[in-house]
Chains A and B, each alone.
Chain A
């Protein structure tokens, strides 16, 4: 019963909203890179926002549903097929026992998510089901899913007519292969040279090959500080943009270390991190500086809209 992995993907892990509260022990939150996708497909199925989902990179896992399943996909578009039926993101689907789900082509984005109604049975570690690949703990045995692995569901999904709630486009992240993402200034932003500041604001950076769940290296015209700064290590955050000694930038992502000592140029706002999470090598990115007040207002608005969606989706659940 549950779902059986027939073919392993390159990196399929169990993730949720992340493991907060343990950064001071060097334990980073992990969690879904594209948290918006994970949340939306959970809300769509009437799950808790923070219910564990599968995060897949391409080539993704192929799996068989060993029981009737209600599920949804979101994030990247890997041209998913249920048996021979083409699937779309952001829609609940019903799979009969024995159906095979596969991902046939990388159409857009780099991380696709799968949620099942009610959620997967995952033993939580420190309050979260997210996989910590550094310490090999959390999620499914602390590792990526391999061929032959099986995940169980928390509830049975009886055959029922699928209600079809729709997610308004405004809630789906504005995905692009060349996004302009909004940032708030970091502590060392003002220490950039005038040229460096202009360059940060107006340059199109390229995402390097060297990008993973820990961080995305960007390539561009190097930026420099007015004077070299040696900083003692302090906490960093998902979305922190650091300046490396060679003048290049790195964006810290979900599996980044809890602390760091490189200058903090800016921080990508939480609402735009999902867009960044879908970027891959040779995609480009530009930054738009906004105030902390604007950033908070954007976050508040998103939370309020998600609440409306949550209520609407709950209403339609049987």
Chain B
């Protein structure tokens, strides 16, 4: 079941749950492509998140094209409810698997020692556990091209830094709780940094400005 609520007067959110699971996230991504393929008059964009999809729309256009509804919200909500009923028929597209080289040298791995210590491990164990699995891109947010990846093995989970760094270097790979992610740009940030990559995650002038998209699978490997 899902819950639909307004996010201001020009957007609504369809919330499936409040948990992080690949199954829920698949639903979100499928529903996003349903909207992309079946755009209604006034549609602006969809934003997939962990377990919810937000639809942005132009009130004026929706009201003009769907006068049978009292409000644009009611119109888009009705469209969304139909979509939720229909989208299960869409076949799940196979995830892209993307390999990303990471340097775990001291100069990049600013918090690797900390992550190892709080988990009673050696740094090389953290690297081994970290690179042993692949991670799902649940959503993009925070910065252009920043992908929220999960889930990190509980043995190497680490809390956010109490005081965020003013400048996390571009390409840094971090852990926050059981999430991991890569900073596409230098930015303030509170994730524990365990390495860095030279892969460009954000190329402003490319047709696809971001390297990753929701639904991808990422496999990190050590460049050392």
Contacts and interface: CB of A to CB of B under 8 A. Distances in A.
Given A135-B204, A257-B141, A299-B60, A240 B7 contact: yes
B63 A296 contact: yes
A267 B20 CA distance: 25
Given A27-B209, A187-B15, A233 B148 contact: yes
Contacts of A170: none
Interface string B1-33: 001011111110101001110000000000010
Contact of B144 (A135, A268, A295): A135
B88 to A, nearest CB: 21
B116 interface: no
A232 interface: yes
B166 to A, nearest CB: 14
Nearest to B148: A233
B185 interface: yes
A274 to B, nearest CB: 15
B10 A26 contact: no
B175 interface: no
B6 A231 contact: no
Given A258-B47, A258-B141, A293-B71, A235 B11 contact: yes
Contacts of B139: 233, 259
A220 to B, nearest CB: 22
Contacts of B148: 233
B13 A187 contact: yes
Contacts of B140: 24-26, 258
Nearest to A136: B185
A26 B141 contact: yes
Contact of A259 (B11, B32, B49): B49
Contacts of B187: 134
B6 A23 contact: no
Interface residues of B, number: 51
Interface in A125-184: 125-126, 132, 134-135, 137, 184
A307 to B, nearest CB: 10
A311 interface: no
A25 B202 CA distance: 9
Contacts of B51: 232, 234
B215 to A, nearest CB: 11
Contacts of B143: 26, 134-135, 257
A264 B11 CA distance: 14
Contacts of B142: 26, 257-259
A183 B56 CA distance: 18
Contact of A137 (B19, B49, B146, B204): B204
Contact of A23 (B19, B47, B59, B73): B47
B209 A25 contact: yes
Contacts of B44: 20-21
Best-surrounded residue of B19, B32, B140, B205 (most CB of chain A within 10 A): B140
Contacts of A23: 45, 47, 56
Nearest to B55: A235
Nearest to B5: A187
Interface in B99-151: 139-146, 148
B5 A234 contact: no
B163 to A, nearest CB: 15
A-B CB proximity, top 4 nearest: A259-B141, A235-B54, A267-B8, A234-B49
8 contacts: A135-B144, A233-B139, A234-B13, A235-B7, A237-B8, A258-B142, A269-B8, A303-B60
Given A26-B184, A240-B7, A296-B71, 12 more contacts: A20-B56, A22-B209, A25-B140, A25-B145, A135-B185, A137-B204, A232-B19, A233-B49, A235-B13, A237-B56, A258-B142, A267-B6
